[in-house]
Amino acid sequence: MVISQTLTEAEQKMDKAVEVTREDFAAIRAGRAHPSMFSKLTADYYGTPTPLSNMATIGAPEARLLSVQPYDSTQIKAIEKAIQESDLGLTPSNDGKMIRLPMPQPNEERRKELVKLAHKYAETARVAVRHVRRDAMDVIKKLEKDHKISKDDHERFSTEIQKATDAGIAEIDHMLAGKEKEILTV
């Protein structure tokens, strides 16, 4: 009972790490405007870091243009500052009611930076998956040490945890390869 619960929890946590990586990769855009670029961006809203999506309507009226329309026009400077301080490399244009963000075609140097960022996100996810594996293995080792499971059960469940780990890392590597190809395609 404890073992199957441990396996299920481990698989769910590994799936969550993969899903977070998918969201991180969605925030990396190479040359095309997409509102998901701001999914992790926060701005100071009366002293509280608030997600941009909660403060403004974000749209992509053209392939190379994003528009940010704040719900509260007094917060336009805070949103503009958050965009400038982000690692998106965008220069906001503010008309008092709306922020427009023209998307420049990334040069080779910027593309390489984006690839490095994608690799960083992927490595963070791999580490998270390995931590989940380590925690699950610790539970199984403790159960064997306390004589609650046999050596054979320990081996069998260790193998299952390793398979789940390998599947999670393979999924992350597959997403990384796709994202890298997307970034480097001119």
> Each residue of 36-77: pLDDT tens digit?
777 778 888 888 888 888 888 888 888 778 888 888 888 888
- Determine the 3-state secondary structure of 159 from DSSP: helix
As a whole number of Å, the end-to-end CA separation of the chain is 53
- Contact 68/99 with Cβ under 8 angstroms? yes
- What's the topology of domain 2-26+107-184? Topoisomerase I; Chain A, domain 4 (1.10.132)
Query: What's the rounded mean pLDDT across residues 75-80?
Result: 86
CATH 1.20.1600.10 fits 32-102, yes or no: no
- pTM for the whole structure: 0.69
The whole-number pLDDT of residue 30 equals 64
Q: Where does the pLDDT of residue 15 fall: very low under 50, low under 70, confident under 90, or very high at 90 and above?
A: very high
For residue 145, give the H/E element and its range.
Answer: helix 108-145
Domain with CATH 1.10.132.20 in the chain: 2-26+107-184
Over residues 82-95, the pLDDT tens digits come to: 888 887 777 888 88
CA distance 125 to 131: 10
User: What's the farthest any 2 CA atoms get from each other in the chain?
Assistant: 70
